[in-house]
A and B are shown apart, each in its own frame.
Chain A
């Protein structure tokens, strides 16, 4: 729906087609899609830390490796949540780092738990790539890194480049804006011709 609406516009009048896209830029890393990311990160920070905390306090000797890894995952989730809410330049760098550690962690621990299940008598958040949590732990850092990359590209090079790089996330939104703005564009072109 977005492509047939957008393609005739770009050739004829680029300045009128670009204007509706400037109506909805995300203001910070915690608004727009970031709002959802912070919510999911917060939920996982709470659940991973609470789970690890009670397990380490009550039955640490049963599965020490699993519980320490759960606690580590919880700390990484807290850092990601806090830095995404903060959204400053340094915070974004730390967020990228924590999302990367998280992705590496879920891949490494996931593979480890599949190859050597004996080391994991009790599951962690990252066991079998986060199967116990609907594979959200595997998907979450990918979306986190995509969001941070899009946002930092926007801040660095301005709006026009960022819109073209960020179309994966905002495709539906931009498409709707484009189709809505289609009718007035035709009118304005007619007006300028007369």
Chain B
């Protein structure tokens, strides 16, 4: 696997964080633009889960299988939970939740690379 998907996730995650913080600074609530970006992040994370599952099926084994499975479950949940939690808020603090989700996705990619270096970042 080349590192295209994890790298794209980091870029989209950081872009989401920047866009969301700008929205918070402008005192706006969650709008369509933020929903589209967090949706894109979710799709990319699901693609990555699929790629890792394919690699596991192909016989690859990480150093810590338990941790990798934990990441595979937790990663796609982050944008979904944050998406609903932030959209429920009718103030500038909703986008701030989206910023946390974007940063978390980027950090998860770095940690994932530490668990299984075969996924190049």
Q: Is the CB of A40 within 8 A of B100?
A: yes
- When A43-B100, A46-B74, A176-B27 are in contact, do A36 and B93 touch as well, CB less than 8 Å? yes
**Binding site of B, secondary structure by majority: helix, strand, loop or mixed?**
helix
Chain B contacts for A33, CB-based, 8 A: 93
Task: Flag whether A189 is at the interface (Cβ < 8 A).
Answer: no
- When A24-B91, A173-B92 are in contact, do A57 and B97 touch as well, CB less than 8 Å? no
- When A39-B100, A43-B104, A176-B27 are in contact, do A54 and B64 touch as well, CB less than 8 Å? yes
Number of contact residues on A: which range applies? 20 to 34
Closest residue of chain A to B82 (Cβ to Cβ) is A39
Interface residues of B (CB under 8 A from A): 27, 64, 66-67, 70, 74, 78, 81-82, 85-86, 88-89, 91-94, 96-97, 100-101, 104
Bound-state Cα–Cα, A54 to B97, Å:
27
Partner of A32 from B27, B86, B93 at Cβ < 8 Å:
B93
Q: Which of A35, A54, A172 has the largest count of B CB atoms less than 10 A from its CB?
A: A35
Bound-state Cα–Cα, A148 to B103, Å:
25
**Binding site of A, secondary structure by majority: helix, strand, loop or mixed?**
helix
Chain B contacts for A40, CB-based, 8 A: 100
Interface residues of A (CB under 8 A from B): 24, 31-36, 38-40, 42-43, 46, 50, 54, 57-58, 172-173, 176
Q: Is the CB of A35 within 8 A of B70?
A: no
Q: Is the CB of B70 within 8 A of A54?
A: yes
